[in-house]
Amino acid sequence: MQRGTFKLVEECSGSGDLMQNGAVLRHVRYAINRYQGMLDGSGMPVPGLHRIEGSVDIRIDEHDTSLVGTPLTLRLEDGRTLALTLVDRSGRVLTEGHGPAGGCSCC
């Protein structure tokens, strides 16, 4: 099996809704970078393999860390949704894997 790399394919920022289980938690500002998995050598994209990195302007109280590590959805200004996970209380987000927020057809 060939190893792959990730290529930056989109940078976006704006304001949107941070949601959990379909319910809006907060309206937030965001800055997101989306990377596409690529096959080394051929440069061909690996369908569905992606990484999302960035931040949302949410600050979580040190006594309430229940959202850290929890699957969330961010609805962007253009209506698209991204599945992501808060990795710390400062609002840093990271998601790696297959498919969009609703899952992909291969999983």
- Is 22 within 8 Å of 71 (Cβ atoms)? no
Position 40 scores a pLDDT of 82
- Is 17 within 8 Å of 24 (Cβ atoms)? yes
- Give dist(CA 89, CA 61) in Å, integer: 7
* Boundaries of domain holding 84: 4-98
Position 4 scores a pLDDT of 66
Domain total in the chain: 1
Q: Is residue 107 part of a domain?
A: no
- Is 35 within 8 Å of 50 (Cβ atoms)? yes
Q: Is residue 27 part of a domain?
A: yes
Q: Is residue 43 part of a domain?
A: yes
Q: Is residue 82 part of a domain?
A: yes
Q: Is residue 65 part of a domain?
A: yes
Model's pTM, two decimal places?
A: 0.77
Position 63 scores a pLDDT of 58
- Give dist(CA 93, CA 2) in Å, integer: 28
Structure tokens at 49: 């393999």
Q: Is residue 105 part of a domain?
A: no
